[in-house]
Amino acid sequence: MLMEKERELIVEYGRKLINSGLTKGTGGNLSIYNRQKQLIAISPSGIDYFQTKPKDIVILDIKGKRVHGDRKPSSEFEMHRIFYERRDDIYAMIHTHTIYSTTIACLNWTLPPVHYMIASAGLDVKCAKYATFGTNELAENAFEAMIDRKAVLLANHGILTGGKDLREAFNITEEVEYCAELYYRTKCIGQPVILSEEEITLMMDKFKTYGQGDM
């Protein structure tokens, strides 16, 4: 089966989105880009994550033409495709409707560095201008607001993240949602203290060597 590994990962991480409380129902979408083959594996439109099978994942070329699969691709495929076409550091993307990130997005606010974990996404997380879901306009708005970052809020809609693989995109989604919840809660009882750009830049550098890499 074409892009079998990528299909299986999309099914696995779709279910993780539900189990982690990062989305509900059929909300959101996931994709992986095989840069060598120039093919995109993306979740199908409107199918329950726990009903989705690897064969349901749709394969598109870099221009958005369906190469394999009987299902309709996610309506947001253009928002994924634009990043794979224009950025060389992103190989997987997740879009979802997390509660706290979407709350901030509905205010059309930038999510500032209220906690150092936001450095997993960049200096902050900007909010892209509103556009109707599934449109080229939304894709362009998201791309512009996510320059030099790995996450963006979508006004009155949700969150989009990207990474070198689905694991990184998923982790960024979790961390941004955590920071969004902290921002919401601290705003409820006072004025949060925002970390400096210098501190977040330092954290971004430290994250590059975090974990069990080469010693």
Q: Where are the domains of the chain?
A: 4-207
Largest CA distance in the chain: 54
Which entry of 6, 8, 12, 76 is annotated as an active-site residue?
Answer: 76
pLDDT digits (tens, 9 = 90+) for 55-107: 999 999 999 999 999 999 999 999 999 999 999 999 999 999 999 999 999 99
Sign of the Cα torsion 138, 141, 145, 150 reads positive
Rounded CA gap, 59 and 71, in Å? 10
Query: Is 214's pLDDT higher than 70?
Result: no
12 given a catalytic annotation: no
Give, for 66, the enclosing helix (H) or strand (E). strand 66-68
pTM for the structure as a whole: 0.95
pLDDT confidence of residue 58: 98
**Pick from 177, 159, 3: which is nearest to 93 by CA?**
159
**What are the tokens at 68?**
């394999």
Question: How far is residue 73's CA from residue 25's CA, in Å, rounded to a whole number?
Answer: 17
Backbone angles phi, psi at 6, to 5 degrees: -65, -40
Q: Which fold has domain 4-207?
A: L-fuculose-1-phosphate Aldolase (3.40.225)
Alpha-carbon distance 116 to 199, whole Å? 8
Report how far residue 126's alpha carbon sits from residue 130's, in angstroms, rounded to the nearest whole number.
12
Q: Burial letters for 85-101: b for 16+ Cβ neighbours within 10 Å, e otherwise?
A: eeeeebbbbbbbbbebb
Burial class of residue 14 in the structure, from the number of CB atoms within 10 Å of its CB (0-12 exposed, 13-18 middle, 19+ buried) = buried
pLDDT digits (tens, 9 = 90+) for 39-66: 999 999 999 999 999 999 999 999 999 9
pLDDT digits (tens, 9 = 90+) for 136-171: 999 999 999 999 999 999 999 999 999 999 999 999
